[in-house]
Amino acid sequence: MPDVTIEYCVPCGQLERAIDTQELLLETFGQQLDGVRLQTGDGGVFEVRVDGERVWDKSAPGDETPVEAAADAVRDRLDD
């Protein structure tokens, strides 16, 4: 099963967004995932990786909220 990592910028105050993203991924994909881990970072980073491969970061274009966009990126990766 895939493992998801959410790396977020601590100095930027992105912990709440990271937790919201983690919660949504666990609620949406549940047992399809091995786990969803939060990883601290800096320099403005906010990215989601599946098995080490970046599937979404905050610079991605789109109209969705970052939390929804990250979930869609994980869904696309799981569908592959």
Nearest to residue 1, comparing CAs of 37, 47, 38, 35? Answer: 35
Q: What is the pLDDT of residue 66?
A: 81
Residue 79's pLDDT band, with cuts at 50, 70 and 90, is: confident
pLDDT averaged over every residue in the chain: 92
Q: Which range, 28-37, 55-64, 70-79, has the best average confidence (pLDDT)?
A: 28-37
pTM for this model (two decimals): 0.91
Q: What is the pLDDT of residue 70?
A: 87
Contacts of 32 (CB under 8 A, 6+ apart): 1, 2, 78
Model confidence at 68: pLDDT above 80: yes
